């Protein structure tokens, strides 16, 4: 994929279409945020392609599906960490884990380290 990006991101007649979530700190998110230059294979490339995102497609379960699945656990974990999604969605989901399942849930900051016992 990176070779295709490298060869097409510089072309104004190209379109890069994202159909899934692009996490903060990833190349995809840098492109989606329309940074004027992105680093691919150790080199800075000018971003001249048209950048688009198609919303509504996901390979992930929704909030209800996740809660239902997590609720089938035979015993709750000592701690649950929500590490995927935008901050507002992650915080809301952690609150649901606490309120509906009674779990100890947290949303660590980007690049945080958590020591597990």
pTM for this model (two decimals): 0.54
Segment 72-77 shows an average pLDDT of 88
pLDDT tier at 84, thresholds 50, 70, 90: confident
Model pLDDT, residue 57: 64
Segment 61-74 shows an average pLDDT of 86
DSSP conformation letters of the chain: -HHHHHHHTT-TT-EEEE-S---TTSHHHHHHTT-SEEEETTEEEE--SEEEE--S--SS--HHHHHHHHTT-SS--S-EE--SS-HHHHHHHHHHHHHHH---EE-PPTT------
Average per-residue pLDDT in the chain?
A: 91
Higher pLDDT among residues 117 and 92, named by residue = 92
Task: Read off the pLDDT of residues 8-32 as tens digits, 9 standing for 90 and up.
Answer: 999 999 999 998 888 889 999 999 9
């Amino acid at each position: 994929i990176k070779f295709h990006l490298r060869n097409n991101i510089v072309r104004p007649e190209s379109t890069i279409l994202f159909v899934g979530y692009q996490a903060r700190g990833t190349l995809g998110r840098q492109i989606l945020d329309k940074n004027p230059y992105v680093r691919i294979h150790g080199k800075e490339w000018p971003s001249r392609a048209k950048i688009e995102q198609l919303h509504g497609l996901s390979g992930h379960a929704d909030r209800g599906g996740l809660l239902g699945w997590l609720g089938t656990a035979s015993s709750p974990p000592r701690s649950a960490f929500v590490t995927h999604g935008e901050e507002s969605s992650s915080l809301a989901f952690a609150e649901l884990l606490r309120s509906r399942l009674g779990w100890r849930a947290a949303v660590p900051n980007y690049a945080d380290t958590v020591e597990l016992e």
